[in-house]
Amino acid sequence: MTETYTALARKWRPKGFTELVGQDHVRQALVNALTSGRVHHAFLFTGTRGVGKTTIARILAKCLNCETGVTATPCGECASCREIDTGRFVDLIEVDAASRTKVDDTREILDNVQFAPTRGRYKVYLIDEVHMLSTHSFNALLKTLEEPPPHVKFLLATTDPQKLPVTVLSRCLQFNLKRIPSAQIATHLREVLEREGIEFEPAGVALLAQAADGSMRDALSLLDQLIAFGGGRAGEAEARAMLGTVARDHVVQLAERLAAGDPAELVRFARSLEQWAPDYAQLLDELASLLTRVALKQVVSDYEGDEIFAGELIGRLAGALGAEDVQLYYQTAILGRRDLPLAPDPRTGFEMTLLRMIAFRPQDDASQPRAFGQPGAAAAPRRAERPAADAAAAPVPSGEWAALLAQLDLQGAARQLASHCTLIGREGARVKLALDPRSHSLRTASLEEKLAQALSRHFGEAVRLEFTVAPDTGETPAQARQRAERERTDAARQAFEADPGVQGFREQFGAEVIPETVRPVK
């Protein structure tokens, strides 16, 4: 008789907290609660697919019903533990709320809440995708959550907690499960492969971990698929073929041709990739990923690469590419990837992205700033260069920078960041800004990216930002607005003081003016 195959995602599902990968913050809280005997009656586990919501709920059910007693380390051998592992424990009631949304279904489930457990210590209700319940079903559930019997525990799981009523949320202990880092996923996959005795290549495993996007369940399912696809092994070539990713060598050759700076050869090689029918968006992702590693090597000298890109390769590219070029190429790659759907076709958009990288690369004879207010303007005539300190001391007038900001498609916190800067100048693809030190908390990677994108759209070409934090670089647009507001307020107060009626009140009644209450008319 042929032995039934068990999928890896089921076979290697954690049976206890010690086997759980990631989610240390949830594990520690539950272990402490079980150890101290202070176990809440309702838990809500939230997070994206495959991060361990129902797995943790089942482990908790074992902890509560293990025949050795309530414990953070269930034995796994007693009848209760074995039955929970196989889904046959009568006092663990698992409900898929996506298929049982009606109030009658919920009432049918909750009708037996008041009865004592049949076998275990606690009757545990595990409701998956609880956000799918109807309003009436939530009302029925809420009544039980408000006054639960002492022998009942509720374990709720959802991928969309925003859809849960506040009344339900307030009665549960909430745990948000995070996406599992790809490095942790890759480590676990390698352990599984080693224990299964399956041949693998670390680069192939790393590709699966990235494709899983934080989901351990998806990673194990992909691993099953790869083993079948690869005829019993998990190699890099098989992983790339299965996932539809381009060969690593193609990405490396793109980076090498960028370093050479020959547009004709770069385009020739880019067009030769068409025979492989690549996903051009994915190709730009891979290139950006390689450039990230190169930038790390340039900053952290002992960076040794990883399974996908070896340290020797990263070191060679780090020496061949300038640090500014790497930053420009990376930004252009992610902007080009975003705009790829707008191109006439993906290949054209991909080629134009590569050409932008070459076209906007700073040259030795292009260090002078362009006319900043004019999109795509030609470089200004050369003039004697000033030391960097002198340039920083003479920023572009605040009015010119403020006028430019008024033309940008920029909102919210990103506009606030820009308004607390002064413009030092523009040199080729670089825009140099000085940030008011008192506003350093505004500077985040996402806001910098939004500002860079807005400037890139305005000028019709990719630009990258360089920030300095200096207190003496002139007046920022935000400071100019504050100064103008103070001047208007002072003028209003002076006019009020000089008003004959106000003066009459002072003389006749001894009235006093409270300056803080005087405001200019808007």
**Per-residue model confidence as pLDDT tens digits over 427-439:** 878 889 998 888 8
Q: Residue 522 falls within a domain, yes or no?
A: no
CB 190 within 8 A of CB 205: yes
Which CATH number is 273's domain given?
1.20.272.10
pLDDT digits (tens, 9 = 90+) for 65-98: 999 999 999 998 999 999 999 889 999 988 888 7
Average pLDDT over residues 377-381: 36
Nearest CA among 119, 31, 44 for reference residue 82: 119
Chain mean pLDDT for the chain = 83
Question: What pLDDT was estimated at residue 521?
Answer: 65
Residue 214 has pLDDT above 90, yes or no: no
Confidence band, pLDDT 50/70/90 cuts, at residue 203: confident
Residues 444 and 507 in one domain: no
Answer yes or no: is pLDDT of 288 > 80.
yes
CATH number of the domain residue 229 falls in:
1.10.8.60
Both 433 and 298 in one domain: the answer is no
Residue 218 and residue 146 share a domain: no
For 33-47, 174-188, 355-369, 410-424, which range has the lowest pLDDT when averaged over its residues?
A: 355-369
The last residue of one of the domains, among 176, 200, 226, is 176
Last residue of a domain, one of 155, 176, 197: 176
Span 110-126, pLDDT tens digits: 777 888 888 889 999 99
168 and 272 inside one domain: no
- pLDDT tier at 262, thresholds 50, 70, 90: confident
349 lies in the same domain as 431: no
Q: How far is CA 342 from CA 328, 337, 346, 347, 450, in A?
A: 21, 10, 9, 12, 19
Residue 507: which domain range? 484-517
Domain-embedded: residue 371: no
**What φ, ψ does residue 41 adopt, rounded to 5°?**
-85, -15
Same domain as 67, residue 149? yes
Question: Within this chain, do residues 57 and 171 fall inside the same structural domain, yes or no?
Answer: yes
Q: Is 387 part of a structural domain of the chain?
A: no
- Pick the more confident residue, 209 or 516: 209
**Claim to verify: residue 512 and residue 471 sit in the same structural domain:** no
Do 141 and 57 lie in one domain? The reply is yes
| pLDDT band at 372; cut points 50, 70, 90 | very low
Q: How confident is the model at residue 185 (pLDDT cuts 50, 70, 90)?
A: very high
Q: Answer for the pair 251, 290: CB distance below 8 angstroms, yes or no.
A: yes
Per-residue confidence (pLDDT) for residue 388, from 0 to 100:
39
Whether 47 and 75 share a structural domain: yes
The amino acid that residue 256 corresponds to is E
pLDDT of residue 3: 61
Q: Are 349 and 490 members of one domain? A: no
pLDDT at 472 over 80: no
The answer to whether 372 and 425 are in contact (CB under 8 A) is yes
Residue 362: the pLDDT is 65
- Structural domains in the chain (count): 5
Instruction: Mark whether 285 and 224 lie in a shared domain.
Output: no
Statement: the pTM of the whole predicted model exceeds 0.85: no
Q: Which CATH number covers residue 90?
A: 3.40.50.300
Query: Residue 425 is part of a domain; what is its CATH number?
Result: 3.30.300.150
In this predicted structure, what is the pLDDT of residue 387? 38
The predicted pLDDT at position 323 comes to 87
Examine residue 372 and state whether it is found in any structural domain, yes or no: no
Looking at residue 99, what is its pLDDT? Answer: 75
CA distance 308 to 203: 5
Q: Which of 243, 266, 286 is the last residue of a domain?
A: 243
pLDDT higher than 70, residue 393: no
Burial letters 129-165, b for 16+ CB under 10 A, else e: bbbbbeeebbebbeebbeebeebbbbbbbbbebeebe
Report yes or no on 383 lying in a domain. no
pLDDT band at 220 (very low <50, low <70, confident <90, very high): very high
The answer to whether residue 375 is domain-embedded is: no
- 227 domain-assigned: yes
| Percent of all residues in the chain with a pLDDT value above 90, rounded to a whole number | 27
Has residue 100 got a pLDDT over 70?
no
Q: Is residue 121, in this structure, part of any structural domain at all?
A: yes
